[in-house]
Amino acid sequence: MAVDGLLLIDKPAGPTSFEVVRQIRRALKVRKAGHLGTLDPFATGLLPLALGAATRLVPFLEGLDKTYLAEVELGKETDTQDATGRVVAEHPVAVSEADLRAAAARFVGEIEQIPPLYSAVRHQGRRLYELARQGMAVEARPRKVTIYRLEIKEIRLPRVVLEATCSKGTYMRTLAHDLGRVLGCGGHLAALRRLAVGPFPVDEALPLAEVIHHPDLARERLLPLADCLPFLPALQVDAREAARLAQGQPVAVPPPAGGLNGRVRVLSGGRLLAVAEWRRDPRGLLLAPVRVFPQAPE
C-alpha cells in the first residue's frame, strides 16, 4: 500500500525533528519523508510530516503560519535563549501585569529578530550553532518576521505563558529573550508547544509513540493528497481536461462562481491531479498547472 499524504505527529520532548522523520520512515516503510518546519528537541507539539508523493506539496505548505504556547521565565538569560542553555545573566523581576501587556504589544506586527547563536541559520556557509560550539560568536543579520497575535494566557511570576501566531522563520526563543530585554529583567524560553501549523491543529495529531507501535493506525489517519491543501479552493475537471492538465497543458475552464482566487487544487475522480493557477492568454482565461500529480492515489 502506497503511503502518500500528510501525517500529523504530536512530538514529545527529546528527539530532534530529523529523528522523528527517521522513526516514521522506518515504522511506515516509506522512502520519502520530510517535516514542515523544525521543532527544537525540548519542544513538543505538532510536527506535520509529508510522506511519499506529498513531499512534492512541501513548497505550498512550508510557508504556513504557526501557533505556539510558550512559557517564558523572566529574570534569567541563557546562551541558547531557552532552558537547555547556560545561564549568562540574572536580574530581579519587578514587573506588573500592565508592564507585561505593554511590552507584549510591542511585538505584534512585523518586527525584526536576530536569530540566536545556537540556530540553524547559515553564516558564510556554516550553521550558527556549529560556530557557537567552537566558541566563535557570530551575530546573524536581523530578519523580518510577523507576529500576527500575541496573547498573555497566564502570569505566574517569574513565569509568563504566551500564545502566539507567527510567520515562518519566527524564533520563539528570541521572542522570549527580547521580551525580557524590553522588561529590563531578561528572560528565556522555558517550555514550548506547537499548537497548529496553518489549518492543521495538534488536536488531530497522533502521539509519536502510538505511530511507532501502531503503524496501521497511522496509515488510516494519513491525510490524502486531495486534502493536504485545504486553504486552496478545489476545482473538479472532466476526463478530457484532466488528460491535458496531466500533460502540463493549460485548459479553458470556467472560473468558480466566487471568481478568481489565485491558485487552486484540481481534482479528478477524487484524486489530486494538480495545483494550478489562472492565467490570461490571447486565447482567453486559462487554467495552467503549476505542479502535476498524474499518479496521485485516492
CA–CA separation, 53 vs 291, rounded Å?
12
- pLDDT tens string, the chain, 298 residues long: the values are 678 999 999 999 999 999 999 999 999 999 999 999 889 999 999 999 999 999 999 999 989 999 999 999 999 999 999 999 999 999 999 999 999 999 999 999 999 998 876 555 544 444 444 444 545 565 667 899 999 999 999 999 999 999 999 999 999 999 999 999 999 999 999 999 999 999 999 999 999 999 999 999 999 999 999 999 999 988 899 999 999 999 989 998 876 665 566 789 999 888 999 999 988 877 678 889 999 986 544 4
* pTM for this predicted structure: 0.88
Angle (CA) 199 202 207, round 5°: 140
**Backbone phi and psi for residue 169, each to the nearest 5 degrees, phi listed first:** 90, 0
User: Hey, what's the cell of 37?
Assistant: 518546519
Question: Which residues, in sequence order, are CB contacts of 102 under 8 Å at separation 6+?
Answer: none
Q: Residue 220's CB: how many other CB atoms inside 10 A?
A: 9
Alpha-carbon gap, residue 108 to 143, rounded angstroms: 15
**From 3.40.50.9100, 2.60.40.1180, 3.30.2350.10, 1.10.10.10, which CATH number describes the 5-64+199-224 domain?**
3.30.2350.10
**What's the CA gap between 272 and 166, in Å, rounded?**
29
Q: Rounded to whole angstroms, what are the CA distances from 280 to 263, 283, 284, 286, 291? A: 14, 8, 6, 6, 18
Torsion of the alpha carbons at 90, 91, 94 and 98, rounded to the nearest 10: -70
Class of domain 75-190: alpha beta
Which of 4, 40, 82, 178 is catalytic? The answer is 40
What is the signed CA dihedral for 284, 287, 291, 294, rounded to 10 degrees?
-120
- Architecture category of domain 234-292 in CATH: Roll (2.30)
How far is the C-alpha of 233 from the C-alpha of 260, rounded, in Å? Answer: 10
Q: Nearest CA to 64 among 47, 89, 76?
A: 47
Query: Domain-by-domain residue ranges, the chain?
Result: 5-64+199-224, 75-190, 234-292
What's the rounded Cα separation, in Å, for the pair 188 and 174?
Answer: 8
- Annotation says 4 is catalytic: no
Domains 75-190 and 234-292 alike in fold = no
